Structure 1
Amino acid sequence: MEEIHKKLLQRNRTNLVKDLDPSKLYDGLLEKGVFTQDMVDEIKSSGTRRDQARQLVRDLETRGSRAFPLFLECLQETGQHSLAGLLLNAAPPAVQLQPSTPTQAVRPVVQPLPVYSPMDVDKQRKDVAPVYPIQRPTTTPSPSPEREYLRPRPQGRTRRDSIQNYKMDATPCGHCLIINNVDFEEQSSLNNRKGSNIDCDKLERRFKALNFDVKVRTNLKQRQIKHELSALSKKDHSQYDCCLVIMLSHGTEVSHSRFPGAVYGVDGQHVTVQYITNYLNGQNCPSLQGKPKLFFIQACGGGEKDTGFEVSPDESQPPIGGADDQTDAIPMSSSSDSLSMSDEPDARATLPTPSDILVSYSTFPGYVSWRDTQAGSWYVETLDRILEENATTDDLVTMLMMVNNEVAQNSAKGLYKQMPGSFNFLRKLLYFKTQ
């Protein structure tokens, strides 16, 4: 959407939320291609009429250049003339409000071939040319009728060396945002996270060495976390190859439709992981389309503690972990979503397009994540060392598997276990640029 149109929506957001009837607009916005059915379904499920209106206007800002004039058309077609007039009167004279006519592509008309069962050849229409078996050398046994009509399978299989690599040679490679929440407000009822600064220092040094422009923000409230993510999504990433977000905080389990889990601001208000990833998806951050977007979450996925299970002697490893181990767990939240209900223009969320996204969790959803108050968290300590030792030779997914294996060997208080894991939607291999 054009910036001037976004500003018109933002300046008139209060009146739109107060008076807009979204239910009358859904069919028109679908028909005109402004929203997809999934987006409309998500808006409908966002709550009251005001909530739906707020979400609709927010999502509208993320659509293309024709979204605003088509929205005006829908307002007029559904009799919401006062709101259409409000936006028309607020627009500067030079602003183009009519939708540009999309170029009509001339496509050849393709007639589908009739489909018949291989065993029903005699029932084909007479005007359709029959399909004859492929003539083979007489030395080859005659194939069965089913074989004659099957599409041949491609020879061989996809090899690892045929998978492409992401371009990762820009200088710097991309932005890296680290949010490190250590000292929590008293009313949050959350303990301070001793040892988190050790994690933060390690990751800041590591990703600077891996050619990232690193920014660290400490002790952020929920609203400040969203502001930082919004600011990151609005940057021009055209000259970069990657973007990275690291969250170090307390966490919890929440109901979710995509990425599980949530992290807490120091005020005790949480932000869901799916909301965090939304900021950088292909719709909300076009300059990162087709580029890897990496998220590392050092926080609990829930409150359950894993005591592990017995393995054969050749699988066992000496337990690692000390008396200073703490968790980053908070009980499961009853909230089904934490999308902001405020009317701030930077609060943007749409149905995510998850391609080229990887979310690495310090622990399995629903379980606690352990942190040593003296040495930092198990996950970050292991991740930092694996990156240092292997980034010159191995791709990211392989290294995360190494992290999983090593953290799984640890034991907290000689009893509790931890299992990291990832939601991987990368399409190519990712090798960091090392010095």
Structure 2
Amino acid sequence: MSQTDETCREIRMDPRDRRILLSNRSNLVSKLDPSVLYDGLLSRGIFNQDMIDEIQIAGTRRDQARRLVQDLEMRGSRAFPAFLECLLETGQGHIVQFLQNGDSPSPPVPPPVRPNVLPVPLVEPFLTDNTKGGNKPDKCDFTPLPDVTKPDPLPSPYPDISPRPRPRSDSIQNYKMDASPCGLCLIINNVDFETESKLSSRKGSDVDCDRLERRFKSLNFVVTVKKNLKQRQIKQELSRLSKEDHSKYDCCVVIILSHGTEASHSRFPGAVHGVDGPSVPIQNITNYLNGQHCPTLQSKPKLFFIQACGGGEKDTGFEVSPEEVTPQEGGVDDQTDALPVSSSSDSLSCSDEVDARATLPTPSDILVSYSTFPGYVSWRDTMTGSWYVETMDRVLEENAATNDLVTMLTLVNSEVSQISAKGLYKQMPGSFNFLRKRFFFQTPPQ
């Protein structure tokens, strides 16, 4: 860490400056253009390049402005004056003006005066009696308003409404998947963790990596494997992938095999660790490939498979009748991919706190498949690999030619849920699915 970074961490922002940022945050988010400020803040040592990268992948202009103001509050006593200088240099003096006018928010605008319009009573209810198959009006009780002259009834804007049939499953569209090769696949395999990270080596992960590399090559992907990446290197590889031209491809896949932990989020939970210890939130990982930061993947499926713990809790399951499941024993050398419970809270960064907002854009065409439920450990056999990857590989081999991805992941969930570690602990995979169509892999001719 540079001397500038140390200074910013040791000296807190002046309380008055911080109060000005907090009280004017909504104005800053709506008016600030953060894209022209990055060079100035970087040259003044307020942010380093990694921090700028994190802000830039936050999302829209408003998202980036919100993240910049949030992070600025944590960057020491020089941050606010430098911020004002950058605003003046980039032609945003109007923002400096309302920041320097005081540290209280603008007075609330009174609500508009609405005309006193009396409600019009319902003339003809548009309810239907579906139980008898017709459009017969139901009985509807209402009391006419006193001293109100009823206007002539207006024609209904909904003439002859009839129930719409529910779409059949075969009417759902499929994603285009006929390019050859069909897409790029990045596998990050973190096995050997540095001593300072206090994380153990992930024996058996190479088995998972080899298995997935073969499987996705057979599904006609161009596969790149990166091993033992530090936090910064994970971000660099994802940034490189986002800058690729995906125009000739139909899909993109990212697979991460590592230790994991819980992390605050507003879209996708969890985080994965670099071999040096610090983690990268899953939410940030998906942001690299969203439609805004990777235009050539817009409207194309982006698939993420995460073999890592979602936390430190171990699931002992609950008792069911014998006919419901066929129990399977895990290996004798099962290990978890969790951060040690004693230090899991230390890995959570203030900069990863959820930023409340009224609405949040849906990350379309993204699916994130987790090896375990958020908050719980994920089991891995040191000899045969993880339960999740081994099961997924077999399900893909047996079903990819006929079933869509969501159906196959449900099969993976079912099979993994029946395995037990040491005859006691369970695991439940799951996914966050924002795909708009069905996804079928390319498969080799039978």
Question: Would the TM-score normalized by the shorter structure come out above 0.5?
Answer: yes
Matched, 1:35 2:37: no
Matched, 1:295 2:304: yes
- 1:16 to 1:242, Cα distance in 2 relative to 1, 3 A: farther
Work out which of the residue numbers 43, 57, 73 in structure 2 matches 1:48: 73
Partner of 2:204: 195
Partner of 1:256: 265
Structure 1: distance between partners of 2:137 and 2:312: 60
- 1:251 to 1:199, Cα distance in 2 relative to 1, 3 A: same
Matched, 1:75 2:100: no
Shift of 1:302: 0.6
Work out which of the residue numbers 209, 213, 218 in structure 1 matches 2:222: 213
- 1:141 to 1:175, Cα distance in 2 relative to 1, 3 A: closer
Q: Deviations over 1:3-59 (max 9, x none)?
A: xxx99876544246659xxxxxxxxxxxxxx833x55444433351759x99xxxxx
Structure 2: distance between partners of 1:315 and 1:79: 66
1:259-408 counterparts in 2 under 5 A? 259-330=268-339, 331=341, 332-337=344-349, 354-408=363-417
* Corresponding residue SS for 2:367: strand
- 1:18 to 1:250, Cα distance in 2 relative to 1, 3 A: closer
Identity fraction in percent: 63
Which shows bigger deviation, 170-179 or 148-157?
148-157
Shift of 1:155: 2.0
Work out which of the residue numbers 25, 42, 47 in structure 2 matches 1:14: 42
* Corresponding residue SS for 1:426: coil
Shift of 1:333: 3.1
Shift of 1:188: 1.1
Aligned letter for 2:390? Answer: E
Query: Any stretches of 5+ residues in structure 2 without a counterpart?
Result: 1-33, 48-59, 80-86, 98-116, 127-133, 142-154, 353-359
- 1:249 to 1:338, Cα distance in 2 relative to 1, 3 A: farther
Structure 1: distance between partners of 2:136 and 2:377: 62
Structure 2: distance between partners of 1:185 and 1:142: 74
Shift of 1:143: 2.5
Partner of 2:137: 143
Partner of 2:426: 417
Q: Deviations over 1:117-162 (max 9, x none)?
A: 77344xxxxxxxxx899xxxxxx88534769969535421021111
Aligned letter for 1:193? Answer: R
- 1:337 to 1:244, Cα distance in 2 relative to 1, 3 A: farther
Partner of 2:105: none
Work out which of the residue numbers 214, 226, 229 in structure 1 matches 2:235: 226
Structure 2: distance between partners of 1:154 and 1:166: 29
Shift of 1:258: 1.7
- 1:277 to 1:197, Cα distance in 2 relative to 1, 3 A: same
- 1:224 to 1:313, Cα distance in 2 relative to 1, 3 A: same
Conserved? CA contact 1:180–1:219, under 8 Å: yes
- 1:35 to 1:146, Cα distance in 2 relative to 1, 3 A: farther
Q: Deviations over 1:315-369 (max 9, x none)?
A: 03132212111111113334554869xxxxxxxxxx8751111000000001000
Return the TM-score normalized by structure 1: 0.71
Shift of 1:312: 1.1
Aligned letter for 1:372? Answer: D
* Corresponding residue SS for 1:119: coil
Aligned letter for 1:48? Answer: E
Partner of 1:176: 185
1:78-89 counterparts in 2 under 5 A? 78=95
RMSD of aligned C-alpha atoms?
3.6
Query: Any stretches of 5+ residues in structure 1 without a counterpart?
Result: 1-5, 20-33, 55-69, 81-114, 122-130, 134-139, 341-350
* Corresponding residue SS for 1:431: coil
Q: Deviations over 1:222-263 (max 9, x none)?
A: 011111011001111111111110000011112222211111
* Corresponding residue SS for 1:282: coil
- 1:171 to 1:365, Cα distance in 2 relative to 1, 3 A: same
Structure 2: distance between partners of 1:227 and 1:169: 29
Work out which of the residue numbers 246, 249, 253 in structure 2 matches 1:244: 253
Aligned letter for 1:75? Answer: Q
Structure 2: distance between partners of 1:141 and 1:319: 55
Work out which of the residue numbers 114, 118, 121 in structure 2 matches 1:119: 121
Structure 2: distance between partners of 1:327 and 1:239: 39
Shift of 1:395: 0.3
Partner of 1:160: 169
Shift of 1:383: 0.4
Return the TM-score normalized by structure 2: 0.69
* Corresponding residue SS for 1:263: strand
- 1:403 to 1:132, Cα distance in 2 relative to 1, 3 A: closer
